[in-house]
Amino acid sequence: MAEVEFLNTDAGRRIAYHRTEGTGPWLVFLGGLKSDMEGTKAIHLEAWAKSRGQAFLRFDYSGHGQSSGRFEEGCIGDWAEDTAAAVSALTNGRVILVGSSMGGWQSLLFARAHPDRMGGLVTIAAAPDFTEDGYWASFTDAQKAALQQDGQVELPSDYMDPYIVTRRMIEDGRTQLVLRTPLDLPFPVRMLQGTADSAVSTERAIALLDHATSPDMRLTLVKDADHRFSDDACLNLIENAVLEVMNP
């Protein structure tokens, strides 16, 4: 396997990445919160893209995987900067973004800021606005007080070790929301969502479908699929979704 490479960004972060040259459009995988570019979906899509001779990029946000920084220091806006820097420096032409969970939010932020670069979008259990509608909305008064006083709270997870949510993540998240104002996605979009996902609900997927405008946007619900969405059947659905947005 090729050795990891690093991109030094204007924000002073060191972003780890794997990049495969090929024909366009570039396929770019955006991972979820506290996940990294070594996950099943990222590795599978890289191998699939290579088999097709298609250009592919996967990378770690700062505070994730092999990139610089600590997770607790980061926020949605920082990771949006990382995404924009990686796509700008490491790809060219139109891109197909595949955003998983928090990566779905990141893909929407990139698409909103750089619609000219977008060839299509595939989301997997997209979690837009989760810092406000998921974390903050579910916090108890005690947790909200602790966030103000201590600057952080610790939350359990069904999919990873407990993690820290900081006041900065909540406050920055409010500046990155995509479901409160018009969201135009002028390119093909495919959304994939498992009905057994305990991290992102089908209601969130439907809310995004209802909110965004697009000439070609479809949501596929997969019965009993969980948040990982990485068994063979789900990986095949992701491949098909990529092909659909590339060849509408």
Q: Active-site residue numbers?
A: 101, 197, 227
| 193 vs 213: CA distance, rounded Å | 19
Taking every pair of C-alpha atoms in the chain, what is the biggest distance, in angstroms? 53
What is the strand order of the sheet 5-8 is part of? 5-8, 14-20, 54-59, 23-30, 95-100, 118-124, 189-194, 217-222
CA angle 22, 4, 38 (to 5 degrees): 85
Gyration radius of the chain over CA positions: 17
Here the tokens at position 247 are 């060849």
Q: Identify whether the C-beta of residue 93 lies closer than 8 Å to the C-beta of residue 26.
A: yes
Q: Identify whether the C-beta of residue 113 lies closer than 8 Å to the C-beta of residue 132.
A: no
Residue 180 burial (C-beta neighbours within 10 Å; 0-12, 13-18, 19+): exposed
